[in-house]
Structure 1
């Protein structure tokens, strides 16, 4: 019997259809324009015009307050045609905006969130440091509270939208408190004295990343939206990213798969279309199987969000979909033959973009260790694991 929870509502189908039409009509033709690091500002404006940039924002601030599942569906559709735009979109509907929506003071919500809805203000999250990525408890960036002011010092690296974002959600130690319990969060505006982009890196997927230095950046104390002990709240919000990151991977895999189907139906060799060869049909069958398995895991994880996804469901979905998408895009490129290695066919873009998935939002190795620990803790030596699809 089909699980009714995994059937899209008429509203969700309409949303997906609208985004799919926009992506195919406009984003697909522009995708090559963004491979040099150019930010897809026009695409973001188009998404704002149909209300997508406000989909994760509560209605009282101009948004539509849609679910993590709805957000993943939209990112999946955009990813089918343009990785760079999908990544830019994830920054406006993902962990940054959800941290602000759930933890920022009312005055900041009223100031920032309506501007995000219209595309007037872009957001970025600053987590990774030159010496620590997944190792959040060893972050060195520190915010010192001085009365009604707070002073931020430190370096963050591999940051998306550093040249375009207006507000930065910075994971920071508070008053030099050690360990994970000392981690909180501060909002920094790019125009704050002491804020500087100090290095830029162009990625194989096409987008630019950057290093940011905070040198005696003084902000109002209200900008410290989570103080000591905020780590658990931040990590809960970050589980949203562990659903949205694989939604990019899923969309890229689907885009590559669809491109492969079209190619093998049209390309002929030895008097037959490539798709008539059994070896190719087997590849297609395995690609489709893997995509559908990944879709089931990801959608299930998204549906656990209240307001943030279950961490273990999200971890399993992410590590499977990320790795699945690498296999699928690689096979899609393979069936294109030499043409797949050129920029004339979109499959090469999908292949390059999908490699990001296992690196961002929690490395695959870290998530496997997380899931493994949970399995060891929850295993019942008598009953084992009941077949309920949960941990």
Structure 2
């Protein structure tokens, strides 16, 4: 087993860290009001980051999931809003277009994703159903070579910036999981309307989108059969990229805590000299490293998508760990940590999203628990590598 990153991966990480610390982190506060970080997006496009999930034939880099996670981790240390904006370009929606969309869509959208000129949005959650995909009501009715999209999606990121929306919906009213498919709809389509906006504690803006009898060509239905399985397969990548942001937020808060403990004094000496403070750092570092190991291993399982249960475990742990570590960072900073003058406040607010998006912690625990009960061998137990 080799637990080391390659020279190429280390070079990518160092480049992104340099840019994040020098450019993104100093201006992170300006994006907390919902302003989209276009300046940062264009800078990352120059570096090729936005094309990490795009195949080389469309101008991208076609990098593995692990490389993508490494980059998001570094960006999140400095700016959660930018990391989430990049997630939209390297996550599920881009991979679905690259895998399932007609060729002319790939040729038009994917190079524009790489250059930062096409932001993509994915539409899944509905007002009455989030994790409960099988009960989505948004529907595509197929009639000859035309289709009509009708429904509502909510809590959608990047709505005001998106050039195209990847919408998971029911196909011809078919019930249950078997009826789920996916349609691609571009900005400006008649009937597409933004009906509500929500500002989040992490700084992002989310929105509600209505599809009021949007008429589209049949070719816009990019997944028609076996949509639920294809969705979950692609979404396992998201369940590695979401926790990579959580990991980065925890690392950013940890680094700020080390700096504070070395510079702040109390009772005549640096507070880092107190055993209780050193124990906090040790526990934070331990939790971060455990999360890193779980996440990197899940990413490395991708072929082309990560193992669903390893991804679920990594997401569960990293999301919860990030909440703990960023909260502890605020405690270390005392009253200053509760102010916007110190980055830990911003990092804490971003961390809270992790357990909600891409599959809640409760849903993933249930998924893993069912697998454990179904696969456990009464004689031999589990394999030593713990891969079920």
TM-score bracket, shorter-length normalisation: over 0.9
The one-character-per-residue Cα deviations of 1:212-271 (angstroms, maximum 9, x if unpaired) are 000011111111000132110111001110000000000000000000000000000000
* 1:53 corresponds to: 50
Pairing of 1:1-391 with structure 2 (within 5 A): 3-4=1-2, 6-391=3-388
Q: Measure, in 2, the Cα distance between the counterparts of 1:100 and 1:23.
A: 28
Q: Measure, in 1, the Cα distance between the counterparts of 2:385 and 2:132.
A: 32
SS of 1:347's partner is: helix
Which consecutive segments of 4 or more residues in structure 1 shift more than 2 A? none
Q: Deviation of residue 281 (structure 1)?
A: 0.5
Q: Measure, in 2, the Cα distance between the counterparts of 1:147 and 1:24.
A: 53
- The alignment's C-alpha RMSD in Å is 0.6
Q: Measure, in 2, the Cα distance between the counterparts of 1:199 and 1:265.
A: 46
SS of 1:205's partner is: coil
Q: Measure, in 1, the Cα distance between the counterparts of 2:137 and 2:44.
A: 36
SS of 2:159's partner is: coil
TM-score of the superposed pair, with normalisation by structure 1: 0.98
SS of 2:319's partner is: helix
Q: Deviation of residue 25 (structure 1)?
A: 1.2
Q: Deviation of residue 386 (structure 1)?
A: 2.5
Q: Deviation of residue 118 (structure 1)?
A: 0.3
Larger displacement relative to structure 2 (244-253 or 20-29)? 20-29
How many residues align structurally? Answer: 388
Q: Measure, in 2, the Cα distance between the counterparts of 1:172 and 1:380.
A: 38
**Any conservation in 2 of the 1:177–1:228 contact (CA below 8 Å)?**
no
TM-score of the superposed pair, with normalisation by structure 2: 0.99
Q: Measure, in 2, the Cα distance between the counterparts of 1:335 and 1:128.
A: 37
Q: Measure, in 2, the Cα distance between the counterparts of 1:222 and 1:262.
A: 54
Q: Measure, in 2, the Cα distance between the counterparts of 1:386 and 1:234.
A: 29
SS of 2:182's partner is: strand
The one-character-per-residue Cα deviations of 1:296-352 (angstroms, maximum 9, x if unpaired) are 000000001111111000000000000011000010110000000000000000000
Q: Deviation of residue 29 (structure 1)?
A: 1.2
Q: Deviation of residue 148 (structure 1)?
A: 1.3
Unaligned residue ranges in structure 1 (runs of 5+): none
**Any conservation in 2 of the 1:200–1:209 contact (CA below 8 Å)?**
yes
The one-character-per-residue Cα deviations of 1:263-300 (angstroms, maximum 9, x if unpaired) are 00000000010100000100100000000000000000
Q: Deviation of residue 355 (structure 1)?
A: 0.1
Q: Deviation of residue 58 (structure 1)?
A: 0.3
Unaligned residue ranges in structure 2 (runs of 5+): none
Q: Deviation of residue 91 (structure 1)?
A: 0.3
Q: Measure, in 2, the Cα distance between the counterparts of 1:360 and 1:99.
A: 18
SS of 1:336's partner is: helix
